[in-house]
Amino acid sequence: MSMAPQDLVERAVNVATLPSVAWVTERTEANLRWANNGLISNGEMRSRSLTVTAIAAVEGGTAAGTVSQQIAGGDEVGAVVAAAESLARAGRPAEDAAPLVENYAHEDSWPEPPETTSIEVLDELAKGLGDAFERAEAARQQLFGFAEHAVETTYLGSSTGLRRRGVQPTGRLELNAKAADRAASAWLGRTTRDFLDVDVAEATEELNTRLGWASTKVDLPPGRYETLLPSGAIADLMIYAYWTANARDAEEGRNVYAAGDGATKIGQRLAELPITVLSDPRYPRVETIPFVAFTSSLDDTSWAFDGGLPINATTWIDKGVLHELIRNRGHAAQTAARPTPPADNLIMDGGGTASLQEMISTTRRGLLLTCLWYIREVDPERLLLTGLTRDGVYLIENGEVVGAVNNFRFNESPIELLGRITEIGAAELTLCREWNDYFNRTIMPTIRVPDFNMSTVSPAS
């Protein structure tokens, strides 16, 4: 019988000879992947990792060392702790060193066992997909896609006595329908915590509508177009803006949030409309683990000294004004600011109420995107991003979709884009396309931009 994860954490903290934070993450996952109306892969996986960060006094300051290892049992704990301590002792003084997070009150239920999933979670989906494949064959269409359900339970313990437990279910469905000649393609994504709210028949019906829109083809040249970016597309751009919101980089003039001479753009207006962007672990339908159980975030901030730190709601942009940037405790202490760990969700809301269909109906002439793809940073100073449209660009004329347009490469900065938004729709739960491997929980509106920069035509379909 293998040890319970709580016992592994206790053992790690007990055998540590240095101040340490340890966490065990139990992960189970199941997936199905299909293409050309048939399965291409599947799987059921279980893993358990122990991560230990040890803090050591070294000449001139304090150093941290982190070791993470998949472990099957308690016999391996001592070696992981020793390896982390060895790294810490061999380290150099860290500039963002901070004492371990002290114990504090919370409502976690430490004794609860890990939550899990299995391939059977996808049983009903598989049956629904089997039926959908038959309908697609009959309609001379092909279905492609991926469904995944993962459940992670994290147990974190610290030398300070802190003990925390968090559960993170994550599910996603991506469904792509193509005409048999591949000349038309439509995509939709769903984020789900348990797959109980996924209806394959309803999803394929929506894709049929979009493939129907593509029965008329319109070739358009590159240029600037009034464009509706649906929630998933704007999510991909705002997630990238979130991942670069590093306070220290901004102070050093190294990202789009820099204002020069050590200052940041906090307090500056980025959008004329009252757009608010926030993250909040307790936000309904996108709940996520409310404490730090990672050693770095994607903006490149190190959290090695901050294991167990509570993650609270943070408003990054408040009614159009940049309000906060990401900083760890060490840097916060040096700059007389508060630490702002990022939560694994992002919400953007401008108070809009219009649905996508209502925004289409009020468009005289413009483009409706489905999603953006292969987004990469071209210029960090402006956060200029490039990428492509994918799986459906539609032309709207006089309030109706009149056909499908060729794909484009775009070059745009999401920060500059914020200042050019002319309409914000109702915020909705959405799955982004480009980053959904890493970022699953977003609530975003559809937005209207009068002049989205389509740099060149892509012949891809």
130 forms part of the interface with another protein (CB under 8 A): yes
Under the criterion CB under 8 A, does residue 93 sit at the interface with another protein? yes
Nearer to another protein, 115 or 123 (CB): 123
Stretch 233-252 residues interacting with another protein (CB under 8 A): 252
DSSP notation for 374-388 = EEEEEETTTTEEEEE
Min CB(261)–another protein separation in Å:
10
Residues 281, 286: Cα–Cα separation, whole Å: 7
Q: Which amino acid does the sequence have at 196? A: L
Residue list 178-207, contact with another protein (CB under 8 A): 178, 182, 187
> Using CA atoms, how far apart are residues 288 and 281, in angstroms rounded to an integer?
5
Residues 6+ apart with CB under 8 A from 417: 237, 449, 452
Question: Of the candidates 363, 366, 290, which has an alpha carbon nearest to the alpha carbon of residue 107?
Answer: 290
**Could you please report the per-residue DSSP string of 222-275?**
SEEEEEEE-HHHHHHHHHHHHHT-BHHHHHTT-STTEEETTEE-TT-B--SS--
Please report, as a single letter, which amino acid is at residue 75.
D
Residue from 10, 23, 114, 146 binding another protein (CB under 8 A): 146
48 contributes a contact to another protein by CB under 8 A: yes
Cβ-based nearer residue to another protein, 319 or 382: 382
Q: Within positions 398 to 417, which residues make up the interface with another protein, using CB under 8 A? A: 407, 409, 411-413, 416
Site mask for another protein (CB under 8 A), range 162-181, x = bound: ------------xxx-x---
What is the C-alpha separation between 461 and 451, in angstroms, rounded? Answer: 23
Three-state DSSP at 178 gives strand
CB of 262 to another protein, least distance (A): 10
Which residue, among 411, 244, 236, 231, has the nearest Cα to 316 in the 3D structure? 244
Q: Judged by CB, which is closer to another protein: 94, or 162?
A: 94
Comparing CB distances to another protein, the nearer of 89 and 106 is: 89
Strand, coil or helix: 30:
strand
Counting contacts by CB under 8 A, is residue 74 touching another protein? no
Binding residues among 8-47 for another protein as defined by CB under 8 A? 29-47
**Whose Cβ is closer to another protein: residue 258's or residue 289's?**
258
CB of 386 vs another protein, minimal distance in Å = 5
Q: Is 232 in the site for another protein (CB under 8 A)?
A: no
Taking the complex as a whole, the smallest distance from the CB of residue 181 to another protein amounts, in Å, to 12
β-pairing verdict for 346-349 and 442-444: parallel
Residue 121 per-residue DSSP state: G
Q: Shortest CA distance to 49 belongs to which of 65, 28, 71, 67?
A: 71
- The binder of another protein chosen from 3, 19, 24, 144 (CB under 8 A): 144
Rounded distance, CA 387 to CA 457, Å? Answer: 12
Q: Which is nearer to another protein, 275 or 388 (CB)?
A: 388
Judged by CB under 8 A, the residue of 94, 98, 237, 424 near another protein is 94
- Contact partners, residue 184, CB within 8 Å, separation at least 6: 178, 211, 214, 215, 404, 461
* Residue of the chain from 25, 227, 345, 453 that contacts another protein (CB under 8 A): 453
- Interaction with another protein in 280-309: which residues (CB under 8 A)? 295-296, 302, 304
Number of amino acids touching another protein (CB under 8 A)? 103
Least distance in angstroms from the C-beta of 103 to another protein: 25
Q: Which of 126, 273, 337, 354 binds another protein (CB under 8 A)?
A: 126
Q: Out of 65, 114, 230, 339, point to the residue binding another protein (CB under 8 A).
A: 65
Burial category of 431 from C-beta neighbours within 10 Å (exposed 0-12, middle 13-18, buried 19 and up): buried
At residue 461, the 3 state secondary structure works out as coil
Secondary structure letter of residue 81 according to DSSP: H
Judged by CB under 8 A, which of 14, 17, 75, 95 binds another protein?
95
For residue 113, state whether it binds another protein (rule: CB under 8 A).
no
Give the three-state DSSP class for 122. Answer: helix
Shortest approach of another protein to residue 44 CB, angstroms? 5
User: Of residues 354-383, which lie at the interface with another protein (CB under 8 A)?
Assistant: 373-382
